[in-house]
Chains A and B, each alone.
Chain A
Amino acid sequence: MNNSLTNTGRLLAAGLRALLVLTLVTGVVYPLAVTGVAQGLFPGRANGSETVADGRVVGSSLIGQSYDLPLKKGRRAPEADLKWFQGRPADGLGTNSVNTRYRLLVSGATNLSADSAELIQQVEDARKAVVKDNSVPGYTVAPSDVPADAVTSSGSGLDPDISPQYARIQVHRVAAENGLPVPEVAWLVEKHTEGRTLGFMGEPRVNVLELNIALSKLVTEGS
């Protein structure tokens, strides 16, 4: 009995030593080496692909943002600023609940199932809002024109992209709100539409932040 206890102890000690040595290799040397190479070769990307406009950082081309008006008193959620192209809904984006002293950007999906009444409501409300916001005099959005990505929340809640179709139905509204000619805004969307990688990977998409930066340049030049 005593003998087997000692053996067990010896084996556990060997296990612990193995863990510590391998921690040194895979938990210290490996991440530091990768960080060194990454920071040396691709410093911009390794630090989050920060995007600069007018000399200040305006976010990351990889991380979706909201383009809202300041929150009005008595309202729970801010209203969309219709001057700018809007991204996808992010109803699953939780609030920072664990460490409340930070305003950390968190990620998350709704996780609602297809048969959930709540999700059906969210989708229907989103579609109504898209139709209403984007229908301007002389241009009406039909509910069937609204693509799926415009009315569903993404997986990360931080999706930086929208489908070209969703960008296109926003063109008339954005042009009207900014006093720009429709063809110019439409051309901007075409210019910022990225096709599938190598023609077959992923889906065609428009990066909303880059599109809005280009739009703001157009607005400044126009005025």
Chain B
Amino acid sequence: MSPVLAGVLQLLALLAALALAHVPLGAYLARVYSARRHWRVERWIYRGIGADPDTQMRWPAYLRALLAFSAAGVLFLYLLQRLQGFLPLSLGFRSIEPAQAFDTAASFVTNTDWQSYSGEQAMGHVVQTAGLAVQNFVSAAVGMAVAVALVRGFARSRTGELGNFWADLVRGTVRVLVPGAAIAAVVLVACGAIQNFSGIHEVGQFMGGSQQWNGGAVASQEAIKELGTNGGGYFNANSAHPFENPTPFTNLFEIFLILVIPFSLTRAFGVMVGSVRQGYAILATTVTIWLGFTALMMWTEFAHHEGALRIAGGAMEGKEARFGVGASAIFAVTTTLTSTGAVDSFHSSFTGFGGGIAMLGMMLGEIAPGGTGSGLYGMLIMAVIAVFIAGLMVGRTPEYLGKKIGAREIKLAACYILVTPALVLVFSALSMALPTPPHSMLNSGPHGFSEVLYAFTSAANNNGSAFAGLNADTDWFNTTTGLAMLLGRFLPMVFVLALAGSLARQQPVPVTAGTLRTEKPLFTSLLVGAILIITGLTYFPALALGPLAEGLAS
């Protein structure tokens, strides 16, 4: 069998598994967020928080609770790292310096998991399991909560109430993420991922002498890292490390874990707004973009026309022998089209176009299918924009799911799509213009610029993957990427929740002959077009200076 055919078959197997899983999981997610009863363990948690899970919140209250929880998360994770040197079970690792601790705290709370440190050399057991892994769970649960709040905004009418943040947060964690991650972690261990607390210890070598391993709770973190679309590796090499991703099967399984919740949420959305077909339209948009990007990535990576890759006879630089080019291409597209940022191969050594595709995937705003929760709300915002564009064409007030998209709604949606491009372009431009930040670039020329552009694209879109040649552990990059992550995560959430609030207040408009049918393939193509055109117009000049210049030069 040729490697290309094997790559295509892996893609098809993945699609089949997702098609099977998304219906029951989607129905389960819808039930989780609609159920009236609380589990006993949840009651204990609510008592611990001191919150009543049955109080309905309007959007400002929902947002305040979310921001308070996230602020506490940043503070706690920052302190945990700053105090690492004094904590037990820290393997003798030192406390993390302030700028890096801020960057890492911002990074994990925002579901970005950008890492300017090298996991195995810097973080002990306590910071990894009780700090970083906890945010892997709760940041994903926060994303789902916001998505569900927006869906409720569409589903409810003549009320401003969006649900209860604490209930959504706790249910997402306890009913979805913890059980899912636990099962996934055991599967990963069964295939060879490690799970122990042995710390730093000596292991013999074939040629004599010994090597020092850093053993830890890797599988448990790996599982939630993928399932929650986080991406922060236990080890520096992330999912390329054999202890995180030991076999070709675990590689596909990890890609499945990344995609399964974002895909299933489209189903949950359909169920919650009372029309499964609306969910299918969103899912179809997602699958179209994901498949298209994967096909392009496989094509450029298998063709490997450039420089060192052509001389080597294959694009294997930065890739593992057990995965090969095909499986690495699927992983790279999946991790950048979701907000994951885990890597099983190093994007910096991809072909120029391959690196560009990874970057463009993030620039789409990570909506196809996007992060757990954040993907769905991002896609629904794009749907609002697409409906608006269609409305302009025919001169009708746009509607989506029976709600009028008026001036206030479209302003909020427009603000949402402006935030991340503004952050990416302004910070990239500043980094190139100031005298010292460019010293961090490993490569020169277009690829050096791509490293910087990639960094801020990754940070502002909460992805976390990197063209890792860039030395990001400087005060400038730690501070600016930290800010980009926080603003890129929470400002859009403000606009989403405000939009949800204003939608929930509306009275639904009846469907007439003139209503745009948003469950039809025509709308799906309109949506795909709107996404590509908006992203293209925003980022084309920057992409032309980096990956396009590099890809065309060879």
Is B237 part of the binding interface, using a Cβ–Cβ cutoff of 8 Å?
yes
Is A17 part of the binding interface, using a Cβ–Cβ cutoff of 8 Å?
yes
Contact with A along B486-526 (1 / 0, CB 8 A): 00000000000000000000000000000000000000000
Is B397 part of the binding interface, using a Cβ–Cβ cutoff of 8 Å?
no
Is B33 part of the binding interface, using a Cβ–Cβ cutoff of 8 Å?
no
What is the chain A residue whose CB lies nearest that of B347?
Answer: A111
Contact call A120/B308, Cβ cutoff below 8 A: yes
Shortest CB-to-CB span from A7 to chain B, Å, is 9
Shortest CB-to-CB span from A146 to chain B, Å, is 7
User: Which stretch of A59-67, A131-139, A174-182, A184-192 is in the interface?
Assistant: A59-67
When chains A and B are docked, how far (Å) is the Cα of A37 from the Cα of B223? 15
Shortest CB-to-CB span from A27 to chain B, Å, is 4
What is the chain A residue whose CB lies nearest that of B249?
Answer: A197
Contact call B194/A59, Cβ cutoff below 8 A: no
Contact call B248/A203, Cβ cutoff below 8 A: yes
Contact with A along B413-429 (1 / 0, CB 8 A): 00000000000000000
Which residues of the other chain, A, contact B443 by a CB distance below 8 angstroms? 112-113, 115-116
Is B197 part of the binding interface, using a Cβ–Cβ cutoff of 8 Å?
yes
Is A217 part of the binding interface, using a Cβ–Cβ cutoff of 8 Å?
no
Which residues, 1 to 58 on A, are CB-close (under 8 Å) to B? Answer: 8, 11-12, 14-23, 25-28, 30-31, 33-35, 37-39, 41-42, 45-50, 53, 56-58
Contact call B69/A15, Cβ cutoff below 8 A: yes
Is A171 part of the binding interface, using a Cβ–Cβ cutoff of 8 Å?
no
When chains A and B are docked, how far (Å) is the Cα of A30 from the Cα of B138? 13
Known: A65-B206, A113-B348, A209-B206. A47 touches B198 (CB 8 A): yes
Which residues of the other chain, B, contact A218 by a CB distance below 8 angstroms? none
20 contacting pairs across A/B (C-beta < 8 A): A18-B51, A23-B76, A25-B178, A30-B181, A31-B129, A34-B219, A35-B196, A45-B190, A45-B193, A46-B195, A63-B213, A108-B236, A114-B307, A115-B447, A116-B443, A151-B312, A198-B249, A200-B10, A201-B6, A209-B206
When chains A and B are docked, how far (Å) is the Cα of A147 from the Cα of B309? 12
Contact call A114/B306, Cβ cutoff below 8 A: yes
* Size of interface on B: residues with Cβ below 8 Å to A: 129
Known: A30-B178, A47-B198, A202-B327. A14 touches B206 (CB 8 A): no
What is the chain A residue whose CB lies nearest that of B214?
Answer: A104
Contact with A along B238-250 (1 / 0, CB 8 A): 0011110011110
Which residues of the other chain, A, contact B122 by a CB distance below 8 angstroms? 98-99
Which residues of the other chain, B, contact A63 by a CB distance below 8 angstroms? 211, 213, 242-243
Which residues of the other chain, A, contact B236 by a CB distance below 8 angstroms? 94, 106-108
Is B235 part of the binding interface, using a Cβ–Cβ cutoff of 8 Å?
yes
Most buried by A among B50, B237, B307: B237
When chains A and B are docked, how far (Å) is the Cα of A203 from the Cα of B329? 13
Contact with B along A87-113 (1 / 0, CB 8 A): 010001010111101111111111111
Q: Which of A62, A65, A113 contacts B211 (CB 8 A)?
A: A65
Is B207 part of the binding interface, using a Cβ–Cβ cutoff of 8 Å?
yes
When chains A and B are docked, how far (Å) is the Cα of A20 from the Cα of B49? 9
When chains A and B are docked, how far (Å) is the Cα of A144 from the Cα of B246? 30
User: Which stretch of B17-25, B316-324, B431-439, B533-541 is in the interface?
Assistant: B316-324
Shortest CB-to-CB span from A123 to chain B, Å, is 5
Q: Which of A56, A104, A202 contacts B212 (CB 8 A)?
A: A104
Contact call B49/A18, Cβ cutoff below 8 A: yes
Is B200 part of the binding interface, using a Cβ–Cβ cutoff of 8 Å?
yes
Shortest CB-to-CB span from A47 to chain B, Å, is 5
Contact call B469/A21, Cβ cutoff below 8 A: no
Shortest CB-to-CB span from B314 to chain A, Å, is 3
Q: Which of A27, A49, A122, A156 contacts B237 (CB 8 A)?
A: A156
Contact call A115/B121, Cβ cutoff below 8 A: no
What is the chain B residue whose CB lies nearest that of A164?
Answer: B321
Contact call B249/A38, Cβ cutoff below 8 A: no
Which residues of the other chain, B, contact A124 by a CB distance below 8 angstroms? 311
Given A11-B65, A109-B318, A122-B308; 19 other pairs, CB 8 A cutoff: A17-B48, A27-B131, A28-B129, A30-B137, A38-B186, A39-B195, A48-B194, A65-B205, A65-B211, A106-B121, A111-B318, A113-B443, A115-B447, A115-B553, A148-B313, A155-B343, A155-B344, A202-B327, A209-B206
